[in-house]
Amino acid sequence: VTEPDLKGRHVVVSAGGTREPLDPVRFLGNRSSGKQGYALARTAAARGARVTLLAANTGLPDPAGVDVVQVGTAVQLREAVLKAVTDADAVVMAAAVADFRPETYATGKIKKKDGQDPDPIVLVRNPDILAEISTARARPGQVIVGFAAETDDVMANGRKKLERKGCDLLVVNEVGERKTFGSEENEAVVLGADGSETPVPHGPKEALAETVWDLVARRLG
């Protein structure tokens, strides 16, 4: 039996991967399936929370009893996050957000030009949503959780990221072409801004989600 320890709480979860359009047919994207974020949304709902799930390009069915908002790009995700966090007790950013987007959007399909090299794609920075909501908290006592998707020096990069983003908890997981993205399972270490480290062994994404909510519920008191 699941303990309804998030009853009366509003939690916001982001899931999936943003897509940054180049032209009407192409985008820059990433390998996130949304499964980890959906597992967070389902488990929070089972623990009694009101859940807003901000879903970026997942193609997954809406979890029962969860408010789902569909977004496409990082800029759209930022708008949706800023709107949802105003009355949120906790926010978990499991979405894989593009750090950069193409500077220009071609309104017509970009064409090959005979005998010419392709034009370079110029990128500009996207807003860092997690850092923004961690710095300017919408509510006192709001618990903010980020994820760190790393391929190298996983823990060292995770610790630096926790510092840089200013969130309360950071779930550090290793990713690769066939690692974590799209799979049913994950393993991670959850770093706390208080110096705590909670290892979560390899297992279903739901198990990691439950550990995240345990840590959030403890901080909400």
Q: Is 95 in the site for ligand PMT (CB under 6 A)?
A: yes
User: Out of 30, 126, 173, 186, which one is annotated catalytic?
Assistant: 30
Q: Should residue 180 be labelled a site residue for ligand PMT when binding is judged by CB under 6 A?
A: yes
Q: Output the smallest distance, CB 142 to ligand PMT, in A.
A: 15
Closest of 218, 143, 154, 142 to residue 188, by C-alpha: 154
147 is in an annotated binding site: yes
**What character string, x for contact with ligand PMT (CB under 6 A) and - otherwise, covers 15-54?**
-----------------xxxxx------------------
Tokens standing for residue 203? 């297992």
Q: Residue 65, Cβ neighbours under 10 Å: how many?
A: 12
Instruction: Verify binding: residue 163, ligand PMT, rule CB under 6 A.
Output: no
User: Which amino acid belongs to residue 130?
Assistant: L
Considering only CA atoms, which of 22, 82, 72, 32 is closest in space to residue 52? 82
| Listed ranges 45-53, 62-70, 125-133, 192-200: which one lies at the site for ligand PMT (CB under 6 A) | 125-133
3-state secondary structure of 52: strand
Asked whether residue 165 is marked as a ligand-binding residue, the answer is yes
Q: How far is the C-alpha of 190 from the C-alpha of 209, rounded, in Å?
A: 11
Query: Tokens 């290793």 identify what position?
Result: 174
**Number of residues lying near ligand PMT (CB under 6 A):** 26
130 annotated ligand binder: yes
In this structure, the strands spanning 10-16 and 90-93 are parallel
Smallest gap, in angstroms, from Cβ of residue 111 to ligand PMT? Answer: 30
Rounded Cα distance between 109 and 82, Å, is 32
Binding mask 53-82 for ligand PMT (x = CB under 6 A): ---------------------x--------
For β-strands 100-102 and 123-125, DSSP reports them as: antiparallel
Residue 30 bears catalytic tag: yes
Per CB under 6 A, the list member of 181, 190, 212, 216 interacting with ligand PMT is 181
Q: Are 199 and 186 in contact (CB under 8 A)?
A: no
**Residues belonging to the active site:** 30
The annotation places the binding site for CTP at 99, 109, 127-130, 147, 161, 165
